[in-house]
Structure 1
Amino acid sequence: MKVTIEVDCTPEEARSFLGLPDVQPMQEEMMAEIRDRMLGAVKAMDPAEMMKAWMPGSAGFDQMQSLFNLMTGAARTK
């Protein structure tokens, strides 16, 4: 014997019928938090931001470039 039952309802109707909570507001809040954290991580990957983190204060690109020139120049003399 085979019995088939078809229920036609929206997710909201099914949740209320089964007594389940509506978690959509919580999901939206969590997605906003995840988005903010991901955007913050992307900003940290920006070369200019990395330079600021590695060389705070007055140090900048010129100092980093001279450091690289010293390292590569020292490698050529050996």
Structure 2
Amino acid sequence: MKITINVDCTPEEVRKTMGLPDVTELNDQLIEAMKDRMANGFSPEEMDKLMRTWIAGTGTSIGEMQKAFFSMMGSGSKD
């Protein structure tokens, strides 16, 4: 026997029901900070740290990412 229950509720209602904190304000602040940094540019040190953080999640080395990037750049059409 298989029983299916569908619950129609908003993400906010689910968060409150499960007792999770409301991080909307924190998220908004982080988004604004990221927009400011992107508008004003990153320092080379910040960009290096950001790329290393992103790449660490993929299980790929920076050298492998560079090879893949340059390979993609070289394989584009030359119209």
Under a length normalisation based on structure 1, what TM-score does the superposition of the two structures give? 0.50
Q: Distance in 1 between matches of 2:12 and 2:24?
A: 10
- Deviation beyond 6 Å, 4+ runs, structure 1: none
Q: Distance in 1 between matches of 2:3 and 2:20?
A: 26
Which structure has greater helix proportion?
Answer: 1
* Equivalent residue pairs, number: 42
* SS state at 1:34 partner: helix
Q: In angstroms, what is the RMSD of aligned CA positions?
A: 1.3
Under a length normalisation based on structure 2, what TM-score does the superposition of the two structures give? 0.50
Unaligned runs of 5+ in 2: 43-79
Unaligned runs of 5+ in 1: 43-78
Cα shift at 1:3? 1.1
The sequence identity of aligned pairs, in percent, is 48
Larger Rg: 1
Q: Distance in 1 between matches of 2:22 and 2:35?
A: 22
Q: Distance in 2 between matches of 1:39 and 1:12?
A: 31
> 1:61 aligns to what?
none
Q: Distance in 1 between matches of 2:40 and 2:26?
A: 21
